[in-house]
Amino acid sequence: MLRHVGAGERTIHVSGVGIVEAMPDTATIYAGATTERPTAAEAIEENGAAMARVLATLHAHGIAKVDVQTSGFAVSPVRKRDSHGRVLDAIRAYRVHNGL
C-alpha cells in the first residue's frame, strides 16, 4: 500500500503470510547388533557378519552408504557370577556391540 503522508514523504507498508509444505527428506534411525561368544575374536567375527546383514538390509531399502555412520562399537568382557550373583574375576565370554 502506498499513501501520501505529507510534504513529499511516502511510506510503504508490507505484510504477508506464507505456508510451505514439503515431504521430509531425512530420518534418523538406530540399528545395530550385539553378540556374545567365548572369545573376543569369535564375538567380533560374528558381530561383523551380523552388521553386514544389517547394512545390506539398509542399502536394499535405498539408504546410501554415505548416509550411514557408526554410533558406537564396544568389546566388553562378561564375567562369571557366583551363586549369590556376585561378579567374579573369571571371564566367561566377550560381548560386542556395534551400532549405526
Range of the domain at 61: 31-100
3-state SS class at 87: strand
Ramachandran region, residue 22 (left: φ > 0; alpha: ψ -120 to 50; beta: rest): beta
Quick check: is 2 in a domain? no
Quick check: is 4 in a domain? no
Quick check: is 96 in a domain? yes
Quick check: is 18 in a domain? no
Total count of domains within the chain:
1
User: How high is the pLDDT of residue 18?
Assistant: 87
Quick check: is 25 in a domain? no
Q: What is the pLDDT of residues 13-72, one digit of tens each?
A: 778 888 989 888 888 889 999 999 999 999 999 999 999 999 999 999 999 999 999 999
Quick check: is 40 in a domain? yes
CATH number of the domain bearing residue 37: 3.30.70.2970
Quick check: is 42 in a domain? yes
User: How high is the pLDDT of residue 23?
Assistant: 86
3-state SS class at 49: helix
3-state SS class at 22: coil
